[in-house]
Amino acid sequence: MCKSAFHSFLQELPKCEHHMHLEGSLSPEVLFTLAKRNNITLPQDDPAFQSAETLLARYDQFTSLDDFLHYYYIGMSVLISASDFEDLAMDYFRHAATDGISHAEVFFDPQAHIERGISYNTVLTGFSAARARAEKEFGITSELICCFLRHLPVPNCVSIFKDADVQASFKNGSVIAIGLDSSEKPFPPALFEEIYAGAKELGLRRTAHAGEEGPSTFISDALDILKVERIDHGIRLIEDEALLQKIAKDGTMLSVCPLSNVLLRCVKEVKEVPIRKFLDAGVKFSINSDDPAYFGGYLLDNYCAVHEAFNLSVAEWTSICRAGIEGSWCSQARKDEMLTRLDEVVRLWTPKLSV
């Protein structure tokens, strides 16, 4: 826990998380438990897989996004049954409740499971059960975002998009949005134009990872070609001042992931994440944990790390929290509940934290 006087204030803020891969909340402990339960043999030739402790130590040494993704895809091989997916998501929602999250829009990677012979409906059944429990047990509302893996052949992505079970989940509202993730640099957004056009026609929400490791042109391409409504990461936006001004003017939200950026060597330290630049330019953003079990912290850890690096004021935190609520893909009634709670928390904490 951070020692800042702001810690309890940050915990109590009604936070929204918009960038969290459910498969990235698989802790080494759960990974080893599920490997045993499901008789999955983990790689014998990599000493990192000797124990949960050695694996966690390896997570401190990621050299790039691809180095992390290697472990991420091996990790998810232990997920087999709907109850494995439910347990995984419940582990995330318990952390979310402790951290004071009100609403979470979470990613999942169906192709990574379908490729291993696990059906889309098995994955969806488990995650949907966890979402219902999270709302009942913790009052956390959530939405699912179906991601396409950009390192896989485009025709494979298109056929998953068109799959009857996937289409049914879009039409019945159990999945409200699509995203684009995995290895970024060799796979420009334009490759996925057909899927995004189809999603727009269905009235789905649309986001894409862009400008994490890839260039700022991937951000403009995601906006112009894919017609996304949100950009995931987007930190390389600072390399294009005109684009930054446009994104500020249009009110397009970025889902920024500070600890992830450090762990994947996109920046050297949290101080280098362009939080100050975005605040000063009026760029809307939320703060997120990305793959919390791999990057050393859940959402509140990211808030605390940002506070330590930038020493933000109550007013600045309030505007970040408000942007997250207003930029969420939930009903206006739910937003109003969170905005009311935000006002209460700010009223309570302002006298204590203002010097």
Binding flag, residue 301, Zn ion (CB under 5 A): no
Hey, what are 97's tokens?
């409740």
- Say whether 19 counts as a known binding-site residue: yes
Task: Report the relative pairing of strands 141-149 and 177-181 from DSSP bridges.
Answer: parallel
Question: Near Zn ion by CB under 5 A, which window of 72-80, 134-142, 144-152, 282-290?
Answer: 282-290
Task: Find out whether 103 is annotated in a ligand binding site.
Answer: no
153 within 8 A of 112, measured Cβ to Cβ: no
Contact range with Zn ion by CB under 5 A, out of 138-146, 183-191, 213-221, 284-292: 284-292
Q: What does DSSP say about strands 15-17 and 177-181: parallel, antiparallel, or unpaired?
A: unpaired
Answer yes or no: are the C-beta atoms of 258 and 290 closer than 8 Å.
no
Q: How far is the CB of 107 from Zn ion (least distance, A)?
A: 7
Residue 109 binds to Zn ion (criterion: CB under 5 A): no
Candidate residues 141, 182, 288, 328; the one interacting with ligand ADE per rule CB under 6 A: 182
Strand partners, 146: 108, 178
Q: Helix H segments across the chain?
A: 7-12, 28-37, 52-59, 65-75, 82-99, 110-114, 120-138, 154-162, 164-171, 193-201, 216-224, 241-250, 258-263, 275-281, 299-310, 314-326, 332-353
Q: Which of 17, 87, 181, 337 binds ligand ADE (CB under 6 A)?
A: 181
Q: Does 212 bind ligand ADE (CB under 6 A)?
A: yes
The 67-106 contact track toward ligand ADE, x by CB under 6 A, reads -----x----------------------------------
- Note if 201 is an active site residue: no
Interface with ligand ADE, residue 24, by CB under 6 A: yes
Residue with tokens 């939080």: 275
SS3 297: coil
Smallest separation, CB 273 to ligand ADE (Å): 14
Contact indicator for 66, 150 with CB cutoff of 8 Å: no
Residue 92 beta carbon to Zn ion: minimum distance, rounded to whole angstroms: 14
Binding residues for Zn(2+): 19, 21, 209, 290
Binding site for ligand ADE (CB under 6 A): 21, 24, 65, 72, 181-182, 209, 212, 260, 290-291
Binding site for Zn ion (CB under 5 A): 290
Catalytic residues: 212
